[in-house]
Amino acid sequence: MFKPQIDTQEPRPTCLEVDLGQLAANYHAILAHLGGVPAMPILKANAYGHGLVPVAKLMEHLGAPILGLAFLEEAIALRRAGITSPILVLGGILGNQIPRFLEHDLILSASSVDKLQAIDACATAVGVRARVHLKIDTGMERIGVHWYSAEALLEASLRCASVDVLGIFSHLSTSDEADTSLTRLQLERFCEVLRFYEARSLPCPVRHLANSGAVLQHPDTWFDLVRPGILTYGVLPSDQVPVTVPVQPALTWKSRVVYFKVVQAGQPVSYGATWAPADWTRVVTVPVGYGDGYPRALSNRAEVLIGGQRLPVRGRVCMDQIMADLGRGEAYNGDEVVLLGRQGDQRVTVEALAAWVGTIPYEILTGINTRVPRIYLNDPFA
Catalytic residues: 44, 271
Cβ-Cβ contacts under 8 Å for 181 (sequence gap 6 or more):
none
Q: d(Cα 366, Cα 39) in Å, to the nearest integer? A: 21
Helix, strand, coil proportions of the chain in percent (round to 5)?
A: 35, 25, 45
Q: d(Cα 107, Cα 135) in Å, to the nearest integer? A: 12
User: β-strand 251-256 against 163-169: which pairing, if any?
Assistant: unpaired
Q: d(Cα 328, Cα 60) in Å, to the nearest integer? A: 50
Question: Can you name the residues that pair with 281 across neighbouring β-strands?
Answer: 263
For 33-39, which contacts have Cβ atoms below 8 Å and span 24 or more sequence positions? Answer: 33/215, 33/244, 33/245, 34/215, 34/222, 34/226, 37/222, 37/223, 37/224, 37/225, 37/226, 38/65, 38/224, 38/225, 38/226, 39/64, 39/215, 39/225, 39/226, 39/227, 39/228
CB 89 within 8 A of CB 71: yes
Cβ-Cβ contacts under 8 Å for 6 (sequence gap 6 or more):
256, 334, 336
Q: How far is CA 116 from the centre of its chain?
A: 28
Q: d(Cα 158, Cα 170) in Å, to the nearest integer? A: 19
CB 246 within 8 A of CB 4: no
Helix (H, G, I), strand (E, B) or coil at 331: coil
What residue spans of the chain are helical by DSSP H?
20-34, 44-48, 52-61, 72-80, 98-103, 113-126, 150-159, 181-199, 212-217, 350-357, 361-366
Question: Can you name the residues that pair with 262 across neighbouring β-strands?
Answer: 282
